[in-house]
């Protein structure tokens, strides 16, 4: 096999607008089918995106022998069911974040894919982008000294009661939807799991969390603090602070695919008035395309995933701790 043939399970907006076109542009990838529970909707999506086959049910896509791997952009509460069904059909799985509704459920999904002999990856696309790859390299190489703190913010405004992000039964709420990014990036930067989690969580309508702040304490005294919100002005930032410098990531998560991106590395100078800051600029790249290419390389070559799927279990444990603490 020289090309990974993809099927898209549902016509969800993120797949239609971002991920599927990015997979189509990825080296070693071809999108050959898309499915919806409404055939006419699948056919319309296929025509819009130039996909050769439309299926009127998810099961039909799983039965399609032309499909090697499936991308799942379904609501969070459907991830486990359909990941395990895809695995049972012998197809590899790229599933949207968060992988599951709980750490225990994520473990079940991983076990099912391992038993079926297929790869399972969680679609945290940001970590494949050059801005983050360089940030990881700088931190691990000691460019800012000993890592001490990660501060991050991620927010948007959505008060639509019919939106799945505002329905707790579908795995809605800010921590599940975007706080998982704050948690994941901090864990990757420290290369460890937090040993203590404290949080304040506000549930504006008595169900989903709409504003949450947390402190994660890592071995050795490092700390990560973050706020995520789904009723606030859209904004995102990440500051990485060490004993000898700091890094600011300009657009950390919703990284635009059509413009240059930057990180700012500060070490020395005369802070706070005149710090010595170097601006590192990266050519435009689509993080979803990079994610698809990395997944395809692992499938086609039989190599390990760049980010092991067990990371999803660890991340969900922290998500659960944050929600329980608040």
Report residue 265: phi and psi, to 5°: -110, 120
- Judge whether 225 and 137 are in contact, CB under 8 Å: no
Residue from 61, 58, 56 nearest 5 by CA: 61
Bridge partner list, 278: 265
Residue 140 CB burial class (10 angstroms; 0-12, 13-18, ≥19):
exposed
CA distance 267 to 257: 29
Length of the chain counted residue by residue: 326
Residue from 87, 86, 76, 77 nearest 111 by CA: 87
CA distance 54 to 175: 34
Cα 94–78–38 angle (5° rounding)? 90
- Judge whether 287 and 125 are in contact, CB under 8 Å: yes
- Judge whether 169 and 136 are in contact, CB under 8 Å: no
The set of catalytic residues is: 97
Q: What is the DSSP code string of 84-102?
A: HHHHHTT-EEEEESS--SS
């Amino acid at each position: 096999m020289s090309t990974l043939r993809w099927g898209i399970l549902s016509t969800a907006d993120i797949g239609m607008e971002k991920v599927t076109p990015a997979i189509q542009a990825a080296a070693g990838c071809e999108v050959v089918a898309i499915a919806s529970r409404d055939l006419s909707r699948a056919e319309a999506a296929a025509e819009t995106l130039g996909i050769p086959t439309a299926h009127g049910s998810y099961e039909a896509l799983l039965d399609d022998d032309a499909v090697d791997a499936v991308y799942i952009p379904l609501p969070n509460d459907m991830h486990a069911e359909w990941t395990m069904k895809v695995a049972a059909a012998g197809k590899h799985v790229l599933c949207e974040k968060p992988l599951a509704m709980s750490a225990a459920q994520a473990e079940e999904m991983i076990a099912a894919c391992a038993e079926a002999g297929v790869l399972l990856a969680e679609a945290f696309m940001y970590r494949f982008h050059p801005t983050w790859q360089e940030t990881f390299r700088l931190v691990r190489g000691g460019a800012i000294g000993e890592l001490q703190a990660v501060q991050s913010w991620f927010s948007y405004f959505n008060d639509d009661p019919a939106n799945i992000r505002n329905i707790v039964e579908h795995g809605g709420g800010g921590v599940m939807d975007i706080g998982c990014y704050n948690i994941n990036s901090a864990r990757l930067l420290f290369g460890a799991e937090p040993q203590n989690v404290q949080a304040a969580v506000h549930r504006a309508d008595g169900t989903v969390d709409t504003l949450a702040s947390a402190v994660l304490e890592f071995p050795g005294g490092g700390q990560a603090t973050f706020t995520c919100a789904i009723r606030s002005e859209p904004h995102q930032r990440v500051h990485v602070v060490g004993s000898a410098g700091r890094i600011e990531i300009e657009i950390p998560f919703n990284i635009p695919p059509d413009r240059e991106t930057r990180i700012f590395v500060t070490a020395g100078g005369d802070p706070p008035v005149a710090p010595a800051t170097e601006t590192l600029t990266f050519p435009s790249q689509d993080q979803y395309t990079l994610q698809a290419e990395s997944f395809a390389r692992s499938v086609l070559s039989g190599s390990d995933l760049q980010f092991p799927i067990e990371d999803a279990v660890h991340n969900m444990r922290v998500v659960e701790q944050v929600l329980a603490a608040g």
